[in-house]
Structure 1
Amino acid sequence: MSIKSRSAIAGVLLVAFLIATQGAAALKVSGSTTVLPFGSVAAEEFNAAQSGIHVSVSGGGSGVGIKNVAAGISDIAMASRHVRDSEREANPDKEFVEHLVAYDAICIAVSKAVYDAGVTDLTIEDVRAIYNGEIKNWAQLGGENKDIYVLAREVGSGTRDTFNEMVMGSDKAETPGVTTNHGSNAEVKTALTRSDKAIGYLGLNYVQDGNLGVIALDGVVPTVSTVRDGSYPLARELFFVTYGEPDDEAATFLEFVTGGDGQAIADELAFVPIN
């Protein structure tokens, strides 16, 4: 197909999009890259099902989403952690309202080469020692004689905060063993697949395709079942957050996300439904 033909098709699609969304109320959602796959698909299905509200979704991290709703840039924040006291204190005009939309797990994953070499089960103490810099070689954990390449998330990530709180003992914990920090779950996954000696943490949705070695933590593998029954130790709640009570448009989308259709999407994407 020629460039001219592709341009013509793109123009037709743009016009169709503008016609379809003309007059629709705009609802902006931003935040957690963990929640992003769920939020994006839910928005697509919601937009297709009605024409009165058009939802757009972007990432940036839980902290960014929470700042955006407080500033009026977004209507809903996606968050993989609770709103912090410091965030509430910095924005005293209204109350942040957390709306539970799904459950998830922080999964500990390693490069396939590490997993195939025999490192398939770690304790929380092992993981803490890796991120503290006390364990630096896979041979110390029954693997090959390779330095451990330690991946973490950047400041502002709800997944980072929850990992630090659950594993390291505080969401402000230092992690001197970390080699590189990454901006999203997808970046962590890419780094894991490109290495033969890495470890990282990421959401359950990102470990479903078999390209990573998913570690059993204290003998429990992260699955929908072990998150639901509470046996996996790094299970967590996922939220949509509004600054004050949601307006009519946000409430309508929240009703969709937490209802049967939205929760079916969560289930299909390997999140754990709330019902």
Structure 2
Amino acid sequence: MKKIADSIIIGIILLGLCSCTSVKSTDPTNSNQVISQADSQAEKIIKIGASSSTVTVLKLLAQAYQSQNKTVKIEFISNSQSEGAIAALKNDIIDIAGSSHQLKPEEDNGKIQYRELAKDLLLVATNNNVKGVTNLSTKQLKAIYKGDIKNWRELGGANADIVVLDRPEDESAKKLLRKYYLGEEKTTTKAVILSKEGELIETLQTTPNSIGTFSLASSLINQLPVNHLSLNGVVPKAQNFASGQYQMVRQIGIIWEKAPSAPTQGFIDFIFSKEGKKLLQNNGFAPAK
């Protein structure tokens, strides 16, 4: 009987210990500590929504910042247009939106803010198989996009049909191309319309005899094997923009909440620091003043 009693007592003690352990694991204070640690880690993730025209510059800055701040992770959520990135910011899906236009009154909910980051020169380029054509006048460029000039031979090149790679009319690259060179002339129906700048860049590299317009910085950063064309004798480079000779540039900016998280504010401070501006300048952008 004594052995049975001893066994019962031991069992009761073990059950008590298990109960204590169980209570400890669900202790509110301990749970809050775990949640607090999880929140702390989550706060170090910065989510960015970038239009196709702003993703290159923001990834360049993000890579440099993360190399110095190992505890910060920057994630990119793809958006094809600035409007989509701004909408994602207002719905708390991202922390920073990249935009190729200033914040419009109808986009401003009073809780977000815009600041220009840089000027991005737009480049007219050809596939690297196009030889003998290094400069185009406004008249010639307009004729190519209109479809009046169809063969590179008409411009001093080889006997080959020109393949025009174009962007939708509501994209910043096409708007600026029209503003400075094309005017309101209709684009040839044979043009290949590509919704994203990355698609145009890839297609230009793989399609012989093609021509297209995209970011000069993207070409320099990625060392793309394409031909950069002068326009009216002016080479597309930051120095010529600074002197007022080259005008086809788009404005790149970022939008973020007026009360950002500490990690987001840290990245924004880096973007507009001397180091950030130098990084932009070294990669073909003209930093905002």
Same fold (TM over 0.5): yes
Matched AA of 1:201: T
Q: How big is the shift at 1:256?
A: 1.0
The number of residues matched between the two structures is 249
Distance (whole Å) between structure 2 residues aligned to residue 76 and residue 246 of structure 1: 12
Distance (whole Å) between structure 2 residues aligned to residue 128 and residue 160 of structure 1: 12
The aligned runs of 1:83-232 (5 Å cut-off) are 83=103, 85=104, 88-89=105-106, 91=107, 93-94=109-110, 97-114=113-130, 116=131, 118-154=132-168, 157-169=171-183, 174-177=186-189, 179-208=191-220, 209=223, 211-232=225-246
1:245 to 252, 258, 264: 258
TM norm structure 2: 0.73
Q: How big is the shift at 1:73?
A: 2.4
Contact 1:62 1:78 in 2 (8 A): no
Contact 2:127 2:208 in 1 (8 A): yes
Distance (whole Å) between structure 2 residues aligned to residue 50 and residue 111 of structure 1: 39
Match of 2:27 in 1: none
TM norm structure 1: 0.76
Bigger mean CA deviation after superposition, 220-229 or 265-274: 265-274
Distance (whole Å) between structure 2 residues aligned to residue 206 and residue 77 of structure 1: 19
- 3-state DSSP of counterpart to 1:22: helix
Distance (whole Å) between structure 2 residues aligned to residue 123 and residue 258 of structure 1: 36
Bigger mean CA deviation after superposition, 250-259 or 104-113: 250-259
- 3-state DSSP of counterpart to 1:119: coil
Aligned-residue CA RMSD (Å):
3.1
Distance (whole Å) between structure 2 residues aligned to residue 37 and residue 149 of structure 1: 25
Contact 1:36 1:58 in 2 (8 A): no
Q: How big is the shift at 1:71?
A: 3.4
Segments of 5+ residues of structure 2 without an aligned counterpart are: 1-36
Distance (whole Å) between structure 2 residues aligned to residue 51 and residue 207 of structure 1: 28
Matched AA of 1:261: E
Distance (whole Å) between structure 2 residues aligned to residue 274 and residue 229 of structure 1: 15
Q: How big is the shift at 1:51?
A: 6.6
Distance (whole Å) between structure 2 residues aligned to residue 155 and residue 70 of structure 1: 26
From the superposition, tell whether residues 73 and 248 of structure 1 become closer, same or farther in structure 2 (CA, over 3 Å): closer
Distance (whole Å) between structure 2 residues aligned to residue 228 and residue 137 of structure 1: 34
Matched AA of 2:47: K
- 3-state DSSP of counterpart to 1:113: coil
Q: How big is the shift at 1:123?
A: 1.8
Q: How big is the shift at 1:264?
A: 2.5
From the superposition, tell whether residues 210 and 248 of structure 1 become closer, same or farther in structure 2 (CA, over 3 Å): closer
- 3-state DSSP of counterpart to 2:74: strand
The superposition leaves residues 215-272 of structure 1 with CA deviations (integer Å, 9 ceiling, x where unpaired) of: 1011111112112322112123211123x63525444322210112212221333222
Matched AA of 1:206: S
From the superposition, tell whether residues 271 and 150 of structure 1 become closer, same or farther in structure 2 (CA, over 3 Å): same
| Identity among equivalent pairs (%) | 23
From the superposition, tell whether residues 46 and 92 of structure 1 become closer, same or farther in structure 2 (CA, over 3 Å): closer
- 3-state DSSP of counterpart to 2:75: strand
Match of 1:68 in 2: 88
- 3-state DSSP of counterpart to 1:145: coil
Bigger mean CA deviation after superposition, 27-36 or 161-170: 161-170
Matched AA of 1:113: N
From the superposition, tell whether residues 32 and 131 of structure 1 become closer, same or farther in structure 2 (CA, over 3 Å): same
Contact 1:61 1:156 in 2 (8 A): no
Question: Which has the higher Rg, Structure 1 or Structure 2?
Answer: 2
- 3-state DSSP of counterpart to 1:219: coil
Bigger mean CA deviation after superposition, 61-70 or 145-154: 61-70
